[in-house]
Amino acid sequence: MSLETITTISPTTNEPVVTRTGVSAEDLRRIPEAAQAAFRSFSQHSTLEQRQKIVEKALDVLEKKKDELSREVTEQMGRPIAYTGVEVLTAIKRGRYLAKISTDVLSEKGIVPGEEEKGFRRYIKRTPVGVVLVIFPWNYPYLTLVNSLIPAILAGNAVILKPSPQTPTIVEQITSAFTEAGLPKDVLQYLHCGSFTLLEALVRSPQVNHICFTGSVAAGLAVQKAASDRVVNVGLELGGKDPAYVRDDVDLAWAAEEIVDGAIFNSGQSCCAIERVYVHEKIHDAFVAEIKKVLSNYRVGDPSDSKTQIGPVISKQSKKAILAQVADAIKESAKDETPENATFENFPLNGNYVKPTLLTGVSHKMTVMTEETFGPVIPVMKVSGDDEAVRWMNDSEFGLTASVWTKDVPAAEKLIERVEAGTVFVNRSDFPSPDLAWTGWKNSGRGVTLSRFGFEQFVKLKSHHIKNYPK
Torsions phi, psi of 420, nearest 5?
Answer: -90, 90
Closest C-alpha to 174, from 200, 148, 145: 145
Q: Name 257's Cβ contacts closer than 8 Å, sequence gap at least 6.
A: 294
113-142 in b/e burial notation, b at 16+ Cβ within 10 A? eeeeeeeeeeeeebebbbbbbbbbbbbbbb
Q: Rounded to whole angstroms, what are the CA distances from 187 to 32, 79, 156?
A: 10, 31, 9
Torsions phi, psi of 81, nearest 5?
Answer: -60, -25
- Amino acid identity of residue 282, one-letter, is K
Return left, alpha or beta for 427; rule: phi > 0 is left, psi -120 to 50 is alpha, else beta.
left
Q: Name 340's Cβ contacts closer than 8 Å, sequence gap at least 6.
A: none
Q: Is 237 a catalytic residue?
A: yes
DSSP string, 207-263: T--EEEEES-HHHHHHHHHHTTTS--EEEEE----EEEEE-TTS-HHHHHHHHHHHH
Which of 75, 87, 237, 290 does the annotation list as catalytic?
237
Q: What is the CA radius of gyration of the chain?
A: 24
DSSP string, 104-153: HHHSGGG-EE---BTTEEEEEEEEE-SEEEEE--SSSHHHHHHHHHHHHH
d(CA 53, CA 58): 9
- The answer to whether the CB of 145 falls within 8 A of the CB of 133 is no
d(CA 135, CA 212): 6
d(CA 234, CA 220): 9
Q: Which residues pair with 215 in a beta bridge?
A: none
- The answer to whether the CB of 210 falls within 8 A of the CB of 129 is yes
d(CA 380, CA 275): 9
d(CA 441, CA 458): 20
| Structural element, H or E, at residue 390 | helix 386-393
Half-sphere exposure of residue 348: CA atoms within 13 angstroms, side-chain side: 20
The catalytic residues are: 237
